[in-house]
A = this chain, B = another copy of it.
Amino acid sequence: MPSDGRRPYASRVSTEPPPPTLTERRKAATQLDIAHAAAELFATRGPEATTAEEIARRAGVALRTFYRYFRSKQDAVGPLLTVGADRWRALLAEAPPGSPLGPALRGAVEQALATPDPQAVEALLRTRGLLRAAADDPALRAVWYRVNQESEELLIPVIARLADGRRDPLEVRLVAAAATDAIRIALETWSGTEAATEGPDSPADLAVRCLRSLLGPGDDTP
């Protein structure tokens, strides 16, 4: 029972989330329960050997309920794989429009990945476990691809806002793709090692290096 605790503050501007009701919070909790159950079973016995029924049982819901939350058993770990990208994108969206692209991207990724927050570290380690399980499971890899693809699409409007009309839509889309690739490859590379979550081979450092390599310094010479 995560006590999220976000409360309605009188002065709230338009785009802020409306206060989540009890039902909504329970739904979110149920979704996370299922996701965690799936991740644990996948990481231990592998997705192939895990049935949707088992995931549902471990999460304490009926099979039918499982399929109300997810289209397939592999999809169940999706929320756990997206949290990192969501965090990064949210940080990036806070940068002022028109700021230079490269530094903004790298700054956001550093904040998102190099955090001492124990919950974020936990998420990072879970991601590594899933990526390793995905190494020999095509269906799980497919989820990873899909998640990255969706991240790329969600990144487009954010990049467009930062570029502020200085780049045409096609270019924006390419930058979004490249940035997503940089993060993806950094995480994949890190998952293949025994490196810790901090230090020179940490995901944050890797990601920053990847971003710089693909997009250059990126202090916005149009």
Contact = CB atoms under 8 A, between A and B. Distances in A.
A213 interface: yes
Interface stretch (A23-31, A53-61, A174-182): A174-182
Interface string A12-39: 0000000000000000000000000000
How many copies of the polypeptide does the oligomer hold? Answer: 2
Interface stretch (A3-11, A87-95, A116-124, A142-150): A142-150
B170 A214 contact: no
B145 A149 contact: yes
Interface of A: 71, 138, 141-142, 145-146, 149, 170-171, 173-174, 177-178, 181-182, 184-185, 189, 209-210, 213-214, 216
A145 B138 CA distance: 12
Contacts of A210: 170, 174
A182 B177 CA distance: 9
29 contacts: A71-B138, A138-B146, A141-B146, A141-B149, A142-B142, A142-B145, A142-B146, A145-B146, A145-B149, A170-B185, A170-B189, A170-B209, A170-B210, A170-B213, A171-B213, A174-B181, A174-B182, A174-B185, A174-B210, A174-B214, A177-B178, A177-B184, A177-B185, A177-B214, A178-B178, A178-B181, A181-B181, A214-B214, A216-B216
